[in-house]
Amino acid sequence: MSMITSNDFKTGLTIQHNGNLYQIIEFQHVKPGKGSAFVRSKLRNLRTGTITEKTWRAGEKVETALIDRRPMQFIYADGDTYVFMNKETFEQLEINVKQIEYERNFLVENMDVEIRFFENEILGVELPEKVTLEVIETVPGVRGNTVTNTTKDAVLETGYKIQVPLFINEGEKIVVNTETGKYSAKA
């Protein structure tokens, strides 16, 4: 168990506070004219994904949390269970769909991901920033319509519904940004 002070905050650092695990999204050291200095921070709860704002006294002690990232491969989904495999040890890991509600929209078989752990607790799946997925359902594309910002609905191979440009057709592969969940480019 390692301790730091609020003066040592860095973006991306993981900490434990009141039994929760947080990642520091942003922070600001504030030195008011009167009174003592403090640190204003924005934290993401690593278990729930919620964002919280917290103010710390300058120099306040905080316990760090060592988050382990293990590279794994998504193998298949079986109902509400998603199965991942460690490519070195071939050990398999099952994750309930409730833990990866958003991420499952981008998971395709044999995709390499990172699984985040705190001690032996699974915190979630870290996806690549961009993934290539096939469009399985959309209205036919409009030829030559590549300039306008007009979009249409499309369903991807994972079942995820997305807005795509008018020129995209069924069977084509597109690149999707996993952070925003939006169309990025034609593959």
* Terminal Cα-to-Cα distance of the chain (whole angstroms): 45
Express each pLDDT in 157-169 by its tens digit: 999 999 999 889 9
Q: Give CA–CA dist 19/16, Å, rounded.
A: 6
| 66: DSSP letter | -
The CATH number corresponding to 130-186 among 2.40.50.140, 3.40.50.620, 1.10.1240.10, 3.30.300.90 equals 2.40.50.140
Nearest to 140 by CA among 119, 162, 166: 166
Domain ranges for the chain: 3-64, 68-126, 130-186
- pLDDT value for 49: 83
How many other CB atoms are there within 10 angstroms of residue 19's CB atom? 6
Per-block mean pLDDT, blocks of 10 residues, the chain (187 long): 91 93 95 93 91 95 94 95 94 92 94 93 92 94 66 94 92 94 92
- pLDDT value for 54: 97
The model's pTM: 0.77
- pLDDT value for 170: 94
Q: What angle do CA 179, 184, 187 make, to 5 degrees?
A: 125
| 129: DSSP letter | S
- pLDDT value for 159: 95
129 neighbors 179 (Cβ within 8 angstroms): yes
Topology adopted by domain 68-126: OB fold (Dihydrolipoamide Acetyltransferase, E2P) (2.40.50)
Sheet holding 38-45, edge to edge: 3-5, 61-64, 14-17, 20-30, 38-45, 51-57
- pLDDT value for 140: 84
Q: Confirm whether 68-126 and 130-186 share one CATH topology.
A: yes
